[in-house]
Structure 1
Amino acid sequence: MSSLSQTMPIIGATDFHTLSRLTLVALTNDFDVGPDLSEKLENSWVLADEQVSLDTVCLGSTVSYDVEGQQRQVTLVLPNEVLADAGRLSVLTPVGVALLGLKPGQRGEWNSRDGHRHQLTVVRVGRAGERRAAAEAFSHL
């Protein structure tokens, strides 16, 4: 694998399909993060789901990441899966887009609403078994 492919985000085909549809919804409804998600998808390697390593952040992944010395842990989910659970982060948030497709040791950036640029570093990634079921449920919308 070249160094270029190691730095580009990696997204599985099922997530890519789901997120492409979600991007259209986000852009149509003027979500601030729509253009960022669209750019992330355009600049990612799309692989067959079984080729995506288990330590790659995807929908349903539980991710530990570091922001300015503080470690946080979230599960990356679709917007309709957030509910009131503070441990679930929508992929339609700036941090959610920044995390998508990264592996431990890789960095992501996002702009906060006040315009400040922030950086995070992925520490650890785990996968939940519900990822594919959630993506398939959303794809029927």
Structure 2
Amino acid sequence: MADLPSIIVAEEDYNRLSTLIERVAGQSDVADGLEEELSRADLKPLAEMPEGVVTMNSRVRFLNEDSGAENEVALVYPHEVDGADHKVSILAPAGAAMLGLSIGSSIEWPMRGRKPIHLKIIGVTRNA
């Protein structure tokens, strides 16, 4: 198994996500995985987060390394997913996978019923 990339998580996001994980404990394999991710994260106040790191409510631009296509999504809390195509819940496997990564990081994005695709983060815009 490959080494997991180190991740940086904003303390504010960590606190909200810890509460969310407690609320859905035992109901979601993704929440269990997210809890594991958070346990190895380097925590920093949001004001001190380096540029280009994915935080909650970031807009993340990807390069699909399989097709060459670019796409952009926002990483949001579950109640903020309103059916819009360009929002990914932190409790979705891909959402949990991207938290704390930075520009240049690559992830495997699970696709329902198909092989995963390989995405490289090429831009991160943090909402104020």
Normalized against structure 2, the TM-score is what? 0.83
Bigger share in helix: 1
More deviation in 67-76 or 120-129? 67-76
Bigger share in strand: 2
> CA shift at 1:47, angstroms?
1.0
Structure 1 residue runs of 5 or longer lacking an equivalent are 1-6, 130-141
Q: 1:15: which partner in 2? A: 13
Between the two proteins, the alignment pairs up a number of residues equal to: 123
Divergent runs of 4+, >3 A: 109-119
> CA shift at 1:103, angstroms?
0.8
> Residues 20 and 57 (structure 1 numbering): CA distance in 2 closer, same or farther, change over 3 Å?
same
Percent identical residues: 28
Normalized against structure 1, the TM-score is what? 0.76
> Residues 120 and 39 (structure 1 numbering): CA distance in 2 closer, same or farther, change over 3 Å?
farther
Aligned residues of 1:94 and 1:112 also touching (Cα < 8 A):
no
2:21 and 2:63 mapped to 1: Cα distance?
A: 26
Deviations 1:45-86 (A, max 9, x none): 111222112311011100011332332210111000111211
RMSD: 2.1
Deviations 1:74-99 (A, max 9, x none): 01110001112111111110110111
> CA shift at 1:25, angstroms?
2.3
